[in-house]
């Protein structure tokens, strides 16, 4: 066999081998695709709690026992509160439904219509008054149906939920126990080089850690303050509104103002002056400023992204991946910036010439 034939055969073998790797990699991704979310959350939680696992393992010198203890800590710290919150949501939803059935919502709208009698909206008030009983009945039925449909969905999907929860814990155990070995193996197989691989890993871990810390703490504080504020001012289902504000805190720029601002204006329209003013003042000067006060020391310089990119990556992530997107979106954006930094560093000479 000539030298040229050997080179051609070597190229063909390399191409075949690379193609085989790509095909099998796609097959593996297809197989584990249904378990993406539990594996992703296991990775995020492992990043958050790994320093604690490392400290514990240095003390016990037993990786399996240390990982098991950390699983118990994670379950107690993160998931038991979620179960309690779910119970409160059901109770508050039923209370809200009862308030609607008692006609409180109709009385409130009649109060608003009286407030609007001397405004440009006055010509539309007769239609609102005549049609409102029908609207109120429809709203009551839809809320009632949503509450019980949600309960039914949870009970029907409980098997799937516990399966995914078990997979997450199982994966988390090995991320604690063998995470460093897995990472070193992936870095060994990657052709980027240790410097760039460490850069990507640090971007992923720092963004996930900063986003989760900032989101959980800020959301918890804003939701708690919002729920207490609504409870003091007499708004029904204050706990649900507080939870909604905690969720809305995920969205940069707008956040909780989407909830407390209309609530304050509605209270003013109903003639509840001190309640409306209290909601607007506390919402604007307390709840609204929590994000600016608490998030910077929690996040620090871990997410070096422009606020506009943070907004779009968060909203886009939530739209594509659901609630998990508030971390997945910023992580993808951060990895993109890291790749562009690697590109700039690697081709700096050519880029400067052009």
What is the residue-wise DSSP string for 83-136? HHHHHHHHHHHHHHHHHHHTTHHHHHHHHHHHHTTTSTTGGGHHHHHHHHHHHH
Task: Give the list of residues 6+ apart from residue 109 with CB closer than 8 angstroms, or none.
Answer: 128, 132, 136
| Mean pLDDT within 172-193 | 82
| Mean pLDDT within 333-354 | 73
Least confident of 97-111, 144-158, 179-193: 97-111
pLDDT at 200 over 70: yes
CB 217 within 8 A of CB 209: no
> Which pLDDT band, with edges at 50, 70 and 90, does 204 fall under?
confident
Average pLDDT, the chain: 74
Residue with structure tokens 């109709």?
A: 106
Name the residue with higher pLDDT: 248 or 128. Answer: 248
| Mean pLDDT within 183-188 | 79
| Mean pLDDT within 279-290 | 84
| Mean pLDDT within 241-258 | 76
| Mean pLDDT within 117-137 | 54
Return the closest-CA partner of residue 250 out of 203, 212, 280, 282: 212
> Which pLDDT band, with edges at 50, 70 and 90, does 112 fall under?
low
Return the closest-CA partner of residue 298 out of 231, 225, 228, 218: 218
List C-alpha distances in Å: 236 to 4, 49, 90: 82, 38, 14
| Mean pLDDT within 158-182 | 85
Residue with structure tokens 């309640």?
A: 275
pLDDT at 148 over 80: no
Give CA–CA dist 343/18, Å, rounded. 23
pLDDT at 136 over 60: no
| pLDDT score at 147 | 52
| Mean pLDDT within 120-139 | 54
Torsion angle defined by CA atoms of residues 269, 272, 277 and 282, in that order, rounded to the nearest 10 degrees: -110
pLDDT at 29 over 80: yes
pLDDT at 350 over 80: no
CB 267 within 8 A of CB 240: no
Rounded to two decimals, the pTM is 0.68
């Amino acid at each position: 066999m000539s030298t040229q034939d050997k080179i051609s055969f070597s190229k063909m073998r390399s191409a075949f081998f690379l193609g085989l790797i790509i095909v099998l990699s796609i097959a593996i991704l297809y197989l584990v695709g249904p378990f993406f979310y539990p594996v992703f959350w296991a990775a995020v939680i492992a990043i958050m709690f790994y320093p604690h696992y490392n400290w514990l393992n240095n003390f016990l010198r037993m990786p399996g026992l240390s990982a098991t203890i950390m699983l118990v800590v994670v379950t107690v710290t993160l998931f038991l509160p979620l179960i309690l919150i779910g119970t409160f949501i059901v109770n508050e939803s039923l209370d809200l439904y009862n308030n609607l059935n008692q006609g409180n919502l109709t009385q409130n709208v009649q109060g608003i219509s009286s407030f609007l009698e001397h405004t440009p909206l006055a010509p539309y008030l007769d239609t609102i008054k005549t049609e409102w009983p029908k609207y109120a009945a429809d709203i009551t039925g839809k809320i009632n149906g949503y509450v019980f449909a949600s309960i039914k969905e949870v009970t029907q999907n409980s098997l799937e939920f516990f399966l995914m929860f078990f997979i997450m814990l199982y994966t988390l155990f090995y991320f604690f126990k063998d995470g460093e070995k897995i990472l070193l193996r992936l870095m060994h197989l990657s052709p980027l080089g240790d410097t760039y691989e460490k850069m990507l890993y640090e971007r992923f871990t720092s963004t996930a850690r900063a986003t989760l810390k900032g989101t959980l703490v800020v959301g918890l504080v804003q939701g708690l303050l919002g729920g207490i504020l609504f409870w003091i001012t007499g708004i029904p289902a204050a706990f649900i509104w507080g939870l909604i504000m905690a969720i809305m805190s995920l969205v940069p720029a707008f956040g909780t103002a989407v909830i407390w601002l209309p609530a304050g204006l509605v209270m003013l329209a109903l003639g509840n002056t001190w309640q409306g003013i209290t909601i607007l003042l506390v919402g604007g000067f307390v709840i609204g400023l929590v994000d600016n006060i608490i998030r910077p020391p929690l996040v620090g310089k871990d997410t070096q992204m422009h606020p506009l990119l943070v907004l779009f990556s968060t909203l886009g992530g939530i739209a594509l991946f659901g609630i998990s997107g508030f971390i997945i979106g910023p992580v993808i954006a951060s990895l993109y910036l890291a790749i562009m930094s690697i590109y700039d560093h690697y081709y700096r000479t050519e880029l400067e010439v052009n």
